[in-house]
Amino acid sequence: MRRGARVAAPLFPAAAALGASFGVLARTAHMDAPAAIVMSATTFAGSAQVATVSVLGAGGGVAAAVAAALLLNARYAPIGISVAKSFRGHALKRLGEAQLVVDESWALAGGGTARFDRRVLLGVGATLWFAWVGGTAAGALLGQAIGDTSAFGLDGAFAALFVALLAAQLRDRARITAAVAGAVIAASLIPLTPPGVPIVAATAAVFVGRRRT
């Protein structure tokens, strides 16, 4: 776990800043600070939370907000299955540990590979959780002082982070093929499906990667 915390430490400021930008966004969408903080502590998934408050802020209603968020989080079903065999012990313990699964903790701990290390996932997940919740609290409570967060380029920072996490995965031909296929599937579906679906559909790329080896 300590190794995971060390791995995640360099990401702490960025995760906290992104949390703060969510907190600011939540307040501008008329979500009060306690609700924003509770959401970060329980949902702990950036894009889904941003989608929720964006839909609510645009007057889209609860059902549309929930649907948008859960589609974005649907990828956690296949992601969780890919590391399921590393989780042992009482169901309640596994239930708690499962909540620390986020894209970054999963990828930094080895993804669904044989090298996957559950303790690294827990360390990274816990570290990012504190950054995310603390950042949200700061953003939600001090929002007005922070101003327009898009100027900070956090979206670009996280896109770059995913580039680095992806690069670490491209070790052989099968993985490169799967990545290319995943990117093509996602890009083709973005104009056709609601956000979230392109990422879940990209899981089909594993079949393409396997066939080519």
Near another protein by CB under 8 A: residue from 1, 112, 126, 142: 112
| Shortest Cβ 198–another protein spacing (Å) | 6
Nearer to another protein, 137 or 205 (CB): 205
* 8 A C-beta contact, residue 117 and residue 2: no
Residue 33, both tokens? 């600070």
Near another protein by CB under 8 A: residue from 1, 142, 146, 183: 183
Near another protein by CB under 8 A: residue from 5, 20, 49, 120: 49
Near another protein by CB under 8 A: residue from 94, 123, 127, 143: 94
| Secondary structure (H, E, C), 65-131 | HHHHHHHHHCCHHHHHHHHHHHCCCCHHHHHHHHCCCCHHHHHHCCCCCCCCCHHHHHHHHHHHHHH
* 8 A C-beta contact, residue 148 and residue 30: no
Q: How far is CA 150 from CA 17, 58, 128, 176, in A?
A: 11, 18, 21, 32
Decide: is 175 part of the binding site for another protein (CB under 8 A).
yes
Give ∠ CA 45-49-51 in degrees, rounded to 5.
125
Q: Which of residues 191-210 bind another protein (CB under 8 A)?
A: 191-195, 198-199, 201-207, 209-210
Interface segment toward another protein; rule CB under 8 A; list 77-85, 126-134, 136-144: 77-85
Decide: is 87 part of the binding site for another protein (CB under 8 A).
yes
Near another protein by CB under 8 A: residue from 22, 44, 129, 132: 44
